[in-house]
Amino acid sequence: MRQKEKTKGATLICAFEGWNDASRAATNVIRHLVDVYDAQEIRSISSDSFYDYQVSRPMVCNVTGVPRIIWPETTFYDIAMPSGRHLYAQLAPEPNYRWMEYCQRSMRIAEELDVSRIITLGSMFAQVPHTRQLPLEETHLSERMNTALSAAADDADCSDDTHDGPAGITTILDIMASNEGLDSSALWVSVPQYLGTDECPQGTLQILRRLSLLTGLAFDEGQLPKKSAIWKAQASMLVSCNDELKDYVHHMEQNYDQEMQIRGLSDEIGKPEAEQLIKEAEEFLDRHNSF
């Protein structure tokens, strides 16, 4: 049964390595915050029974000549902000087993920390050009579920454009948090698939900036803007050396710009007409941007 909505408390941000973390754009948000602020490890979930060590392998670290085994582990941080506020963060490899138990443990730790809001972070590969702002999707599951419940009570049509399909650990955690009465949100950035698995500081920077708006905290961006500029310049150099790739990116730029223009006109021409134009733009992308 859904619990009563909690009073306003702390915020917990969560990111997981692996399927939910293309180019490490999501987990690097937490690593950045831990690096630039006074952060303390306050809780952990051990690797026992949650990981396949042939997938999430332990690491060997030599300290003063003595080898030390570092096992995959979930770490919770308390990040102290200059304003006096505290932000909690959960960082881990995506578990391989027992997701229900894992999320239940995460929720119990959130309860101990008096968390009332959970924000999960993710990144995915997509057909997007590096020369434009990377698409960033913000969803509020608790609001969506309340809308669906109200529509069901009124016997109304509550269909929308939400995705049905395979889910990562972030989605499971989002749903469980919302079912327990927490405010649950998700931020997902799309990163260029053609650039491979190298880090994407632009994606990290965009998540960080949106996270700042969601939490009302002015985050120190550190070296991220400079790293993003270098990332874009290196990507442009790579593209310039390959005519086929250059043409591929050019088509994506055209369709990106067209879609942005259509979205800008949506308020003027009405939602149904705008949706039809967006659909046509997406079909054009599918026809011309296979690489």
Q: What is the pLDDT of residues 27-61, one digit of tens each?
A: 999 999 999 999 999 999 988 789 888 888 888 98
What is the maximal distance between C-alpha atoms in the chain? 69
Radius of gyration of the chain (CA): 21
pLDDT tens per residue across span 152-184: 444 544 445 555 667 889 999 999 999 999 999
Kindly list the distances between the CA atom of residue 155 and the CA atoms of 128, 147, 149, 151, in Å, as whole numbers in the listed order. 39, 12, 10, 6
Per-residue pLDDT reduced to its tens digit, 198-210: 899 999 999 999 9
CA distance 235 to 213: 28
State residue 152's pLDDT score.
Answer: 43
Which of 3-12, 32-41, 133-142, 187-196 shows the lowest mean pLDDT across its residues?
3-12
> How is 230-255 classified by DSSP, letter by letter?
HHHHHHHHHHHT-HHHHHHHHHHHHH
Q: Residue 265: its pLDDT value, please?
A: 62
Q: What is the pTM of this model?
A: 0.82
Please give the pLDDT value at position 128: 95
CATH fit for domain 10-240, picks 3.40.50.10900, 2.60.40.1170, 3.40.50.720, 3.30.1360.200: 3.40.50.10900
- Picking from 256, 257, 274, 275, the residue whose alpha carbon sits closest to that of residue 265 is 274
The arithmetic mean of pLDDT across residues 21-30, rounded, is 97
Q: Which residue has the tokens 């690096």?
A: 35
User: Looking at residue 270, what is its pLDDT?
Assistant: 55
Find the range with the poorest average confidence among 120-134, 143-157, 213-227, 229-243.
143-157
Per residue in 52-105, pLDDT (tens digit) is 888 888 889 887 778 888 888 999 999 999 989 999 999 999 999 999 999 999
What is the C-alpha end-to-end distance of the chain, expressed in Å? 48
Least confident of 4-8, 135-139, 162-166: 4-8
At residue 134, does pLDDT exceed 90?
yes
pLDDT digits (tens, 9 = 90+) for 238-287: 999 999 999 999 999 998 988 888 777 655 555 566 566 666 666 665 66
Which positions ≥6 away from 236 have C-beta within 8 Å? Answer: 130, 131
Report the alpha-carbon distance of residue 14 to residue 186 in Å, rounded. 9
- Is the CB of residue 203 less than 8 Å from the CB of residue 25? yes
Decide if pLDDT at 147 tops 50. no
